[in-house]
Amino acid sequence: MLGLVDLINDRPVHLNKYFDWAQKKIKELNDDPKWRDKIMDYETRLLEEK
């Protein structure tokens, strides 16, 4: 469970191949400006609904 918390907080996790894959995917998505804009728009809409 601590590995998941580290993953969410953008700390390196090397527990198994699944965490390695997830970290790689998260980094790829965060580095893509179009995808990052979509994420930010979605988060903004969620906050506006609250």
What is the pLDDT, as a whole number, of residue 22?
82
> Do the Cβ atoms of 22 and 7 come closer than 8 Å?
yes
CA distances from residue 22 to 2, 16, 47 in whole angstroms, order as listed: 15, 10, 25
Residues 36 and 28: their CA atoms lie apart, in Å, by 10
Position 44 confidence tier, pLDDT thresholds 50, 70, 90: very high
Position 42 confidence tier, pLDDT thresholds 50, 70, 90: very high
pLDDT in tens, 3-35: 778 777 878 777 888 878 888 888 898 899 999
Full-model pTM = 0.55
Q: Where are the domains of the chain?
A: 2-49
What is the pLDDT, as a whole number, of residue 4?
77
